Structure 1
Amino acid sequence: MDFLPIAWVCRAGFYKSTVGNMECSKCPPHSFSHHEGSLHCGCERNYFRAEGDPASMACTRPPSAPRNVISSINETSVILDWSWPEDSGGRRDATFNVLCKRCRGEAANGTSGGNLRCEPCRSKVHFLPRATGLHNTTVTVGDLLAHTNYTFEIEALNGVSSLAPKMRQYAAVTITTNQAAPSPVTVIRKEKTSRNSVSLSWQQPERPNGIILDYEIKYYEKEEQETSYTILRARGCNVTLNGLKPSTAYLLQIRARTAAGYGASSPSFQFETSPDSAFSISSESSQVVLIAISSAVAIILLTVLLYVLIGRFCCHSKSKHPDEKRLHFGNSHMRLPGIRTYVDPHTYEDPSQAVHEFAKELDASCIAIDKVVGAGEFGEVCSGRLKMPSKKEICVAIKTLKGGYTDKQRRDFLAEASIMGQFDHPNIIRLEGVVTRSKPVMIVTEYMENGSLDSFLRKHDAQFTVIQLVGMLRGIASGMKYLSDMGYVHRDLAARNILVNSNLVCKVSDFGLSRVLEDDPEAAYTTRGGKIPIRWTAPEAIAYRKFTSASDAWSYGIVLWEVMSYGERPYWEMSNQDVIKAVEEGYRLPPPMDCPATLYQLMLDCWQKERNNRPKFEEIVSILDKLIRNPGCLKITANTTSRPANLLLDRSSSEIPALDTLGDWMDGMRTLPCKEAFSGVSYSSCDTLAKTSTEDLKKVGVTIVGPQKNIVSSLKALDSYTKNGPVPV
């Protein structure tokens, strides 16, 4: 301890860092001086000063561990989000490091325990924005392996953490990645070329993400620009293409398929066939050649005819594919092979045949029912456990068919299993099997801990980051893209029909419902599961029963609005008849509070009146992926953009009527069911009207939260309109 000369001595508990006729200073928090004449104060036990901290600064310590780590898994990537440490250590320079470990063994998602043996992740794992020195509390980790356990340790650091390594703390979370499609084939080699054929080989994708079932080889003449192409399927990493034209350039792409579906196509690979050889024949030999060619053509035609007849005869039977299957398409708009096509179980004469073809029959003794969690039209919905021989016990949801059912009720009940059993995707609810050979008849699916998305969001209002919400939306869009690719139209996409598991993975559910158009506009459509409100349904589906993937895209826009508003009811308390009329006239839902402008624009794109102008689910997935990679795009909210987002109206500025009076404005707010509450309320000007608060609205009877928010927003926009004129859209 350094001391000052006696003339300038400071007593214990005080210090003076320089010699001179200066006052002594009291030791800052968590520091001390036990002797007189101290130049500085020492730090208490487990408290430190970083190099560069002034003597007047309190001693500090490392922060506590981050809190509330949440993981959102999307195939082979995960979004990690956490809260700031409860104790910052007295400093404001905290940063975060994320350590990735690949583990072997068994562990449940979201836990940090289990019988795991872990090692550092490979260097190809990608962190966005980075793994160390993070100032924000979220990070995206990509390029993980499929079906693999990972543990992530999140450590909080500050300026004195390096001085106390034993005091450093971290939070850990263990996750298991989902099944994912394989990465693209990158290495293709030409082995042998002739005038009419070429032999190729390639290397397996760097990340197969599972067992590769087969490869799809697509090739076409370079000059044809993909207007006419041929597709082969091969089980191995080599193929011979026959029937090519001599001296012709071709382009080729290869993609691999696993149980999760096809991966991305390889870059285009170009090859050329050998030139045609010059030869001449005599007139006599030419006749022999013509006869031979004619015979060959006749044989080929007979073979093709026989193939078509056999194909039609066997179209409903299940058969194994040969190692290679050639399919030729006249244009690029026809459905590609490899992606399975949905088969309507109602086309089977015997519905039980569809159930046994697409769903696994389970032994009732393998199922243990724990408790009843709900009730449906057909019977009870329960949670329970499924223990198959030589497999780990898993939690499941069980739908039962109540006693006394008719044959039609049994068929309707099992139709959902026949549909669900055809799907295999991480964002589609997974069917474990059915019980049909004993009573009660049961449908067994994976168990989703957090239940339906709408109630889950209402329960956790404003508790998630925008990135977490976008991750949920991306999962729903990915599942819908899969259904669209299979040719299945959901027709009842809504947040109530999305289920959420413990890792915030959203999965599309509720299949097999039929809709019948009724005269009653309040019912609109009925299903075997009850009435469906029309506020999720596209206009052409309401008017003409035109259900397509485009009408599903409209419904997705409503789901997007539900998610960003944390489960608010679309159109609030408007009647179904008013919703139909308003939408037909061009009205659209306003952006939810603090909704990013990019997401609101996506909603409006989904709500295009012309169905061909709505984005396809493949485009929606791509848009959401870009937003996840560039979270800065989500910082601009729709409420602060130039569009008049307060109105439930999606028109150009030329279509917005002049708002000369308060009455005109109220007439324009016809989609808000509580405008009558303003009758008899006097306002001296739009300026005073714009100062209306939610408390004022409660006093005049507007108690619904959704309309409250939007009326206040609309009043402010009206004030801006009267002062500055219309805002260009």
Structure 2
Amino acid sequence: MRQYAAVTITTNQAAPSPVTVIRKEKTSRNSVSLSWQEPERPNGIILDYEIKYYEKEEQETSYTILRARGCNVSLNGLKPNTAYLLQIRARTAAGYGASSPSPSFQFETSPDSAFSISSESSQVVLIAISSAVAIILLTVLLYVLIGRFCCRSKSKHPDEKRLHFGNGHLRLPGIRTYVDPHTYEDPSQAVHEFAKELDASCIAIDKVVGAGEFGEVCSGRLKLPSKKEICVAIKTLKGGYTDKQRRDFLAEASIMGQFDHPNIIRLEGVVTRSKPVMIVTEYMENGSLDSFLRKHDAQFTGIQLVGMLRGIASGMKYLSDMGYVHRDLAARNILVNSNLVCKVSDFGLSRVLEDDPEAAYTTRGGKIPIRWTAPEAIAYRKFTSSSDAWSYGIVLWEVMSYGERPYWEMSNQDAVDEGYRLPPPMDCPATLYQLMLDCWQKEERNNRPKFEQIVSILDKLIRNPGSLKITANTTSRPANLLLDRSSSEVPAMGTVGDWMDGMRTLPCKEAFSGVSYSSCDTLAKTSTEDLKKVGVTIVGPQKKIVSSLKALDSHTKNGPVPV
């Protein structure tokens, strides 16, 4: 029989297609304004455009490069009456597309005489421009006065005035800030401003893959006119909903639609004008990160895991920079695609920060995921980017433990209120465990690392993989994991049996005497139920505890060690 091996290879997404349509909007003697159409096949979210231009006579020996977020640019500092050649290419997470057009787009600046007009003509032009500006200002003033007279806002938010200016909110050049949809008097206005309305006929639902808070979650396909069909995830709103449920359901789309980052789940659009009401997002083939890791336990390299963590941190840095607090960062709310790219999702619990970067958002009730939440957020219901950093430390632990439940079966009182800190997962690099401990600083939350710092730390680890070989263990990590308590001297024990005899909890001794304890193997044969009957609870996976005790027994052959 001939032997063979089957290999499955998944290529990365394609780069964007060339920009083919470029228009010259306005020309002067020293500048030109250009616009262009988005590539026919963007193949992902376009991050920016690269504009390269140079004098035609210099044949690209000297050129200038600009970058633009939108589909227009003004080129300044040009020579009068000179021909220039220009190339534009788009960039996505997959990289730059091909430069276009070919041959290069050519434009010419105006000669010096183009603006040599008479003083009489200058006065006419000046009067016309002044009149137009006066009319526009008068129109805006009347619109504002009429709006204030006819409609009194019910919102108590001090920022609402700016939210009714500039199509919903004020956008400063080069600065993107998150706008809380709950500040809109009419929430549907936020949905239509930040989310694209889709025709239900363009959506085909294939199967139900899960259930959400408001209805079913399905996988399907989206086919827009003149666009390639793509796989999508579809959240539906179940029938019989109230107006409040509809608003809360669509609020997540209003939030998600404001974000544009490779590590944030991408919103494709919403369906609000027909039933069922739907939120359509990109489809993530591997589902949630926690279940994906449990399914592939110990199958990834350290660099792969750090790459996943770096993507999550990059997405959180983007949210933090926009003044946005997630409040529910956990591995279950991270989605993974076929290329192992991790993207932050689930924005149902999130709220905006105040203008003051030190301010915190106080919740108005609702459930808090305690095992992932910072102590100050639990105690005072105040959330900041620092509390998100605490949650990121828990996500870091989840990833390195391949999806184990934080704090295992410990009660919330023991897990959080008593100041317990999770031990390092098996084979966890010491640098990553130290990062976890930095994220879990309780007293000084401002000392927790910022997401920008976390991204930088992970980048250094990726560039220096050798640093991941030093693992955190009982000798390298802090001896006292109850960080809020003073440490005490731990006696040296000769064997695990000595340790058991030295325990002051009598039920523990009775449990092991009841099964004729003689070695670590007998612990593995003792059922959790039998231990619970005498007041003993195994905290953590029993097999891993047994393996740790076996390792301790082997060390004691060379002399006593601290337990």
Tell me how far 1:600 sits from its aligned partner: 0.8
Taking a change above 3 Å as real, the CA distance of residues 659 and 338 of structure 1, as seen in their structure-2 partners, is farther
Of the three residues 282, 288, 306, the one matched with 1:470 is 306
Q: Secondary structure at the match of 1:374?
A: strand
Q: Secondary structure at the match of 1:502?
A: coil
User: 1:201 touches 1:239 (CA, 8 Å); kept in 2?
Assistant: yes
Deviates most, 381-390 or 186-195: 186-195
Give the TM-score, by structure 2 length. Answer: 0.63
Tell me how far 1:672 sits from its aligned partner: 16
User: 2:265 touches 2:282 (CA, 8 Å); kept in 1?
Assistant: yes
1 or 2 for the larger relative contact order (CA 8 Å, sep ≥6)? 2
Deviates most, 400-409 or 307-316: 307-316
Q: Which structure has more helix as a fraction of its residues?
A: 2
Q: Secondary structure at the match of 1:175?
A: coil
The CA deviation string for residues 220-270 of structure 1, in whole angstroms up to 9 with x for no partner, is 999999999999999999999999999999999999999999999999999
User: 2:325 touches 2:384 (CA, 8 Å); kept in 1?
Assistant: yes
Using the alignment, how far apart are the partners of 1:228 and 1:315 within structure 2? 58
Taking a change above 3 Å as real, the CA distance of residues 379 and 251 of structure 1, as seen in their structure-2 partners, is same
Taking a change above 3 Å as real, the CA distance of residues 719 and 413 of structure 1, as seen in their structure-2 partners, is same
Using the alignment, how far apart are the partners of 2:341 and 2:527 within structure 1? 38
Using the alignment, how far apart are the partners of 1:650 and 1:270 within structure 2? 68
Deviates most, 392-401 or 681-690: 681-690
Q: Secondary structure at the match of 1:333?
A: coil
Using the alignment, how far apart are the partners of 2:48 and 2:410 within structure 1? 52
Q: Secondary structure at the match of 1:566?
A: coil
User: 1:227 touches 1:331 (CA, 8 Å); kept in 2?
Assistant: no
Taking a change above 3 Å as real, the CA distance of residues 332 and 401 of structure 1, as seen in their structure-2 partners, is closer
Using the alignment, how far apart are the partners of 2:326 and 2:56 within structure 1? 38
Tell me how far 1:377 sits from its aligned partner: 2.3
Give the TM-score, by structure 1 length. Answer: 0.50
Deviates most, 503-512 or 258-267: 258-267
Q: Secondary structure at the match of 2:5?
A: strand
Using the alignment, how far apart are the partners of 1:273 and 1:670 within structure 2? 89
Tell me how far 1:574 sits from its aligned partner: 1.1
User: 1:562 touches 1:568 (CA, 8 Å); kept in 2?
Assistant: yes
Of the three residues 391, 394, 403, the one matched with 2:239 is 403
Taking a change above 3 Å as real, the CA distance of residues 707 and 664 of structure 1, as seen in their structure-2 partners, is farther
Deviates most, 639-648 or 459-468: 639-648
Taking a change above 3 Å as real, the CA distance of residues 292 and 439 of structure 1, as seen in their structure-2 partners, is closer
Q: Which structure has more strand as a fraction of its residues?
A: 1
Deviates most, 318-327 or 457-466: 318-327
Aligned residues: 560
Using the alignment, how far apart are the partners of 2:247 and 2:434 within structure 1? 42
RMSD over equivalenced CA pairs, Å:
10.6
Tell me how far 1:628 sits from its aligned partner: 1.1
Tell me how far 1:722 sits from its aligned partner: 10
User: 1:643 touches 1:727 (CA, 8 Å); kept in 2?
Assistant: no
User: 2:31 touches 2:78 (CA, 8 Å); kept in 1?
Assistant: yes
Using the alignment, how far apart are the partners of 2:504 and 2:253 within structure 1? 43
Taking a change above 3 Å as real, the CA distance of residues 497 and 728 of structure 1, as seen in their structure-2 partners, is same
Q: Secondary structure at the match of 2:26?
A: strand
Tell me how far 1:196 sits from its aligned partner: 20
User: 1:653 touches 1:728 (CA, 8 Å); kept in 2?
Assistant: no
Tell me how far 1:586 sits from its aligned partner: 3.2
User: 1:588 touches 1:650 (CA, 8 Å); kept in 2?
Assistant: no
Which residues in structure 2 correspond to 1:456-467 (within 5 Å)? 456-467=292-303
Identity over aligned residues, as a percent? 97
Deviates most, 693-702 or 416-425: 693-702
Q: Secondary structure at the match of 2:325?
A: coil
Tell me how far 1:180 sits from its aligned partner: 13
Using the alignment, how far apart are the partners of 1:505 and 1:515 within structure 2? 25
Deviates most, 610-619 or 413-422: 610-619
Deviation above 4 Å: which 4+ runs of structure 1? Answer: 167-337, 514-532, 644-705, 709-729
Which residues in structure 2 correspond to 1:25-424 (within 5 Å)? 338-424=174-260
Tell me how far 1:433 sits from its aligned partner: 0.2
Using the alignment, how far apart are the partners of 1:324 and 1:220 within structure 2? 46
Tell me how far 1:495 sits from its aligned partner: 0.7
Tell me how far 1:678 sits from its aligned partner: 5.2
User: 1:646 touches 1:714 (CA, 8 Å); kept in 2?
Assistant: no
User: 1:190 touches 1:200 (CA, 8 Å); kept in 2?
Assistant: yes
Listed as ranges, the gaps of 5+ residues in structure 2 are none
User: 2:250 touches 2:279 (CA, 8 Å); kept in 1?
Assistant: yes
Taking a change above 3 Å as real, the CA distance of residues 592 and 210 of structure 1, as seen in their structure-2 partners, is closer
Tell me how far 1:500 sits from its aligned partner: 0.8
User: 1:229 touches 1:330 (CA, 8 Å); kept in 2?
Assistant: no
Tell me how far 1:715 sits from its aligned partner: 5.3
Taking a change above 3 Å as real, the CA distance of residues 687 and 389 of structure 1, as seen in their structure-2 partners, is closer
Taking a change above 3 Å as real, the CA distance of residues 271 and 449 of structure 1, as seen in their structure-2 partners, is closer
Taking a change above 3 Å as real, the CA distance of residues 500 and 686 of structure 1, as seen in their structure-2 partners, is closer
User: 1:216 touches 1:234 (CA, 8 Å); kept in 2?
Assistant: yes
Residues 1:541 and 2:377 are matched in the alignment: yes
Q: Secondary structure at the match of 1:482?
A: helix
Listed as ranges, the gaps of 5+ residues in structure 1 are 1-166
User: 2:325 touches 2:352 (CA, 8 Å); kept in 1?
Assistant: no
User: 1:228 touches 1:332 (CA, 8 Å); kept in 2?
Assistant: no
Taking a change above 3 Å as real, the CA distance of residues 256 and 503 of structure 1, as seen in their structure-2 partners, is closer
User: 2:397 touches 2:436 (CA, 8 Å); kept in 1?
Assistant: yes
Taking a change above 3 Å as real, the CA distance of residues 381 and 249 of structure 1, as seen in their structure-2 partners, is closer
Of the three residues 717, 723, 727, the one matched with 2:551 is 717
